[in-house]
Chains A and B, each alone.
Chain A
Amino acid sequence: MTATVAAADARSIRRIAFSQRVSHWDFKLSPYLYISPFFIIFGVVGLFPLLYTAWVSVHEWHLIGGQGDFVGLDNFAFVLGQSQFWIALRNTFSIFLFSAVPQVVVALVIAAVLDQNLRGKTFWRMGVLLPYIVAPVAVVLIFSNMFGDQYGLVNNALGSIGIDPIGWHSDVIPSHLAIATMVNFRWTGYTALILLAGMQAIPRDYYEAATIDGAGKVRQFFSITVPQLRPTLIFVIVTSTIGGLQIFDEPRLYDQFGQGGADNQWMTITIYLYNLGWGQLDFGRAAAVAWLLFLIIVLIGLINLAITRRIAGSGDAAKVSRRARKEVTK
């Protein structure tokens, strides 16, 4: 009998080990399985264009004529030596700062307001997204009417309170402000909803515990909301950096020529790229600009990431939220 018992035990031990092995492989392989749909499609439609563009950038390449000689880094050197490139860079950064910074701040405020228990939630929350769905042709018509140099609404309004008309389409900074306004108009509600989604995931109990402790709403916002929003904030900062440095539609539609202004007042890097590739049909140089832009975005993205981590990351804020968490589980 001892033998059968011993045998039975041995068998049951083996069975446990088998199912454990299955679950072990499940655990190890699943992640790769889950990310594979994305990466498979990406391999075809994302990676191929990337590599192709890199290949193009080191050749002399006419859009129609096709591949020319291998020129190494010549295209890059040429582009870096063009004043137009640096002007475009200046414009891009300027418009980016004018748009991204106010946008994130305002979006945070809007999201905080939306996060409350409002009447008619759906209406308010969807309402802020309306600018995003209006077709660019309509937005452009509106804003060019507003910011027209000679007959625009804004200059008319300024004139009626005694300010000289501003050259929205001829001066550099005003043009950046006008374009940044268009960009902010379109994207602020969008950003607000992303932040709202992140805020919604914060358990209410933290706020309750803080209220019990006597913290006011503003203190709660900075000590609970912002740190808890960290992953979302990182997302918003990174994507708005990437998007902001690639701004194309708004500056392109800002005047009837679409080239960023007669004096390159509002030509962004992507417009410069487009002019090279589709205007001058010089595909090689355009590809070089694309990769330079990529490097710049990565650099700025990393800087922004570091900044965001410091703001939303460590220190007192974390301690407070940890304390709140402890309160809850008591």
Chain B
Amino acid sequence: MRTSRTIAAVAGVASLALVATGCAGGSGDSGSADGDVTLTVATFNEFGYTDELLQKYMDENPGVTITHNRAATSNDARDNFFTKLGAGSGLSDVEAVEVDWFAEMMQYSDRLADLSDPELDGRWVDFKTAAATDADGRLVAYGTDIGPEAVCYRSDLFAEAGLPTDRAEVAALLEGDWDTYFDAGRDYTEATGKPWFDSAGATYQGLVNQIEYAYEEEDGTIIATENPDVEAAYEATVEASADLSAGLGQWSDDWLAGLANGAFATMLCPGWMLGVISGNAPEVDGWDVANVFPGGGGNWGGSYLTVPAQGENVEEATKLAAWLTAPEQQLAAFESAGTFPSQTETYTDEVLTGATDEYFNDAPIGEIFIERSEAIEVSPYKSVKYFPINDAMQRALTRVDVEGQDPETSWNQWVSDVEALG
């Protein structure tokens, strides 16, 4: 009868597949016979931790096996991280976190192991360790990379507008505060009729990262809606965007297309953005990067390695995390993935100082970003509500910039959104 033949066929396929994959290997279990340890490292995007690098650690530390788990994006990693924190189990021994969502879980920093180590003092730039130290003074994460920002610009479009195109000259032109940047923008827009920067959201991000206590006080009070600095940043951004913004939300398809078709002439660029631009606009050769940033310096992005307290091998994992974030290893990561190190010792190393980028007109990117990183004065205080409040602000700016809502209505909606966050 046909039915039974079908059932037999299905059972056959299933058992074949079972034999082929289910038996071979099985799920990774730590072989803990006589002191052997298996450590799992979870990262996302591309941290630059190649198999060779991890093998080096295994060679130096016999008895330790490392498995490297990767999530595709920071968002996937965040979802996974929070689910398993909530469930109380399932995290890897070493978990990479991104600074943006790291702040949210700092109120539960006791879920992460204390990684404080006097020997490692001074390894990282100040603002990096500040963000990873909890209210009780415990250091709960080791910094990996940072995203010091410079200004990327289209030298061909600058030429059309009669603006200087040489890197040093552009740096001199834009040196100063945000008004300088916006004024130069007005010159450009008047001359060409085209937008100066990509979106209000991105520009605001540069502004707000220079405010030390933007949305919250250290004791937890939310000052976002009353903070004059925040209001000033909002107003400045909105006013400038009216004439100078291309209205392209970052990471949207229109924005990706805009990288290639000259929809905007400048962009606030952290080191990792270079790869995005060159990847999405391979045929354009007008992009260059200048050693300048309005207001001095800014940081966007950057990650850390943490050791969840729920793990079984906290001590070994801590050792591994310390090793991975040592200057030597971070330089190796920079060479493979371009992730800019947060370790101060690396700033004098040739690998970094001599790095250049062909796509960006052979710009000495190592030097540029070292100097930009040293220009960072403010380490913005980011705590529990930072992310949702900033998110709501980004939406408010999008409403004005991209969708044409009037600034005051949008601001009021933002205020009520912040209040709803409770």
Listed in ascending order, the chain A residues whose CB lies under 8 Å from chain B are: 62-66, 82, 84, 144-145, 148-151, 167, 169-170, 255-259, 262-263, 278-281, 283
Contacts and interface: CB of A to CB of B under 8 A. Distances in A.
B417 to A, nearest CB: 8
Given A63-B86, A262-B403, A150 B104 contact: no
B85 interface: yes
Nearest to B257: A151
Question: Which of A170, A257, A263, A281 has most B Cβ within 10 Å?
Answer: A281
Nearest to B250: A256
Nearest to B405: A263
Interface stretch (B60-68, B349-357, B394-402): B394-402
A170 B403 contact: yes
Contact-residue bracket for chain B: 20 to 34
The 10 residue pairs across chains A and B that have the minimum distance between CB atoms: A262-B398, A170-B403, A262-B395, A256-B251, A63-B86, A64-B85, A64-B108, A150-B254, A262-B399, A256-B252
Nearest to B108: A64
Given A170-B403, A255-B252, A64 B391 contact: no
B206 interface: no
Nearest to B385: A280
A148 B254 contact: yes
Contacts of A65: 107-108
Contact of A82 (B75, B251, B399, B420): B420
Given A263-B395, A278-B79, A151 B402 contact: no
A64 B405 CA distance: 36
Nearest to A255: B252
A283 B253 contact: no
A262 B399 CA distance: 6
27 contacts: A64-B82, A64-B85, A64-B105, A64-B111, A66-B86, A82-B420, A84-B420, A145-B253, A149-B254, A150-B254, A151-B253, A151-B257, A167-B403, A170-B403, A255-B252, A256-B250, A258-B75, A262-B394, A262-B395, A262-B398, A262-B402, A263-B395, A263-B399, A263-B403, A263-B413, A280-B388, A280-B421
B82 A63 contact: yes
A63 B421 contact: no
B248 A256 contact: no
A163 B178 CA distance: 39
A63 B254 CA distance: 35
Interface string B93-110: 000000000001101100
Contacts of A263: 395, 399, 403, 405, 413
B249 interface: yes
A148 B391 contact: no
A259 B388 CA distance: 12
A144 B402 contact: no
B280 to A, nearest CB: 14
Contacts of A150: 248, 254
B395 A281 contact: no
B253 A148 contact: yes
Interface in B208-257: 248-254, 257
B405 to A, nearest CB: 7
A69 to B, nearest CB: 14
A63 B80 CA distance: 12
Contact of A281 (B82, B252, B254, B420): B82
A164 B320 CA distance: 59
Nearest to A282: B422
A211 B105 CA distance: 71
Contacts of B402: 149, 169-170, 262
A64 B403 contact: no
A59 B107 CA distance: 19
A88 B420 CA distance: 15
Contacts of B75: 258
Interface string B19-57: 000000000000000000000000000000000000000
Nearest to A283: B86
Nearest to B107: A65
Nearest to A147: B253
A144 B257 CA distance: 13
A279 B395 CA distance: 14
Contacts of A84: 420
A64 B248 contact: no
Nearest to A279: B388
Given A170-B404, A258-B75, A259-B391, 18 more contacts: A64-B85, A65-B108, A66-B86, A145-B253, A149-B254, A150-B248, A150-B254, A170-B403, A256-B251, A262-B394, A262-B395, A262-B398, A263-B395, A263-B403, A263-B413, A278-B79, A281-B104, A283-B86
A35 B248 CA distance: 55
Nearest to B387: A279
A256 B394 CA distance: 13
Nearest to A170: B403
A283 B107 CA distance: 16
A259 B85 CA distance: 23
Nearest to A65: B108
A84 B108 CA distance: 28
Nearest to A256: B251
B396 to A, nearest CB: 8
Contacts of A167: 403
Interface centre among A82, A148, A169 (most CB of B within 10 A): A169
Contacts of B404: 170
Contacts of A279: 387-388, 391
Nearest to A263: B399
Contacts of A262: 394-396, 398-399, 402-403
A64 B420 CA distance: 20
Nearest to B398: A262
A66 B250 CA distance: 34
Nearest to A145: B253
Contacts of B105: 64
